[in-house]
Structure 1
Amino acid sequence: MLVTSVEIEAFRNITNKQAMAVDPQVTCLIGKNESGKTTILKALHRLNPANNADDFHVTTDYPRRHLSRDRRSKNLDKVAPVTAIFALEDADIDALEEVVGVRPPAGTYVKASRLYDGGLRAEVCCAFEDVLSHVFEEAGVDNTDDREAIAGDHTSIEAVSAAARAPGEGSGRRQEDGPGQGDREGPGRAGPAQAVRRREPPRRRAARAADRAAPPVLLLLQL
């Protein structure tokens, strides 16, 4: 995995969220003394300490001028001082596929955060449009009208699956054969398995693919 960006907030002299892009080759921190360069490096180290454990501590690391006020309004142990976005390489995609059973679509990335209580929160994320494209390809739904009818204006894969199961427009340009057709093999005729696949409406194929994709391609791992 390759770090592509870092976010730091509520850590020492960094009170508001600060985002920083990470260059694939070299990233240089430039600033005056006490401007926060070391703070950034310490936060990055605590995300995944190289050797000895190096945790965040609310009493010493949380911005002091906001400590008393913020303690009254939220649980500071669940605040994430550092978050990093990781781009996945081919080996990472292969490993995820082995774990979840479905190959994550292109554009999938990992978002990892270290909390003040020491916990590591990691999310595997991908754009909803990428998930839909993955579902349609797996289901063999190639027609643009079918894709638009199934996708609608839904914002979750579960909603797409439910819509695909519901009767309505687009549920069937039925391709059923007449009585006795499609169940005999021979020149110009499809075998039973092929005939059944041809007759199955696009919505049903998409619903099955969405059911398979929903749990693995958008998941939250609490480590």
Structure 2
Amino acid sequence: MQEILDTFFNPAVAAQVLPMLLSGLWMTVKLAALIIPLGLLGGLALALAHTQTRSRKLRIAINLYVDFFRSFPQLVLVIFVSFATPFIGIELSPVVALAISFMLSTSAYYCEILRAGITAIPPGQTEAARSTGMSAAQTLRHVVLPQAFRNVLPDLLGNSIEIFKGTSLASVLGMSELLYSAQSAQSVLFNPTPLVLAAAIYLALLWPAVRFISALESSRRAQGG
């Protein structure tokens, strides 16, 4: 038992690497704060374009986009955007390359979630709002979107949690996020305690969010939604 504790739960090693992991955590938080809003905005734009247009060709194009990027491996996309763009004369910083690749991918997921929320709003509410003199934009802003976001909030939060964890892919571009920092410390100290500590940090951050999502889902089911 003592050997297991010394190997995986070594307090001396944990204390030694904690500052390094906290620095990596800060990088993870900054990346998530950049990537999640970009993906959400991109997904919202796609969802609105799909639900509000009368163009069948545009809807087909959006469907193809969503299907492609939901199927394409995120890691390969990150590597492609970062290392292929210089061949066409575009030099991207690691942060910009990561943001672009994640925006392409996550906007597809957010689009599907938001599109489901928008289409779930009864058409009668839109017609009633328009009959009061609201424009189409005002109807979307004040009637449709608030309800749509509320209805799919658990799904949006769940997807955002997955994106937060997915920032570990920044390590392939040499960015010292939380998991990369833990792996670096583990390789230097030859002790897996840093990885266990990093997992504990993820758990401490994301467990409350997961429980909040569960509460939202339970509330929605209780309301018959």
- When normalised by structure 2's length, the TM-score is 0.22
Comparing both structures, which one devotes a greater share of its residues to helix? 2
Q: From the CA coordinates, give the structure whose radius of gyration is larger.
A: 1
Higher relative contact order (CA 8 A, sep 6+): 2
Comparing both structures, which one devotes a greater share of its residues to strand? 1
- When normalised by structure 1's length, the TM-score is 0.23
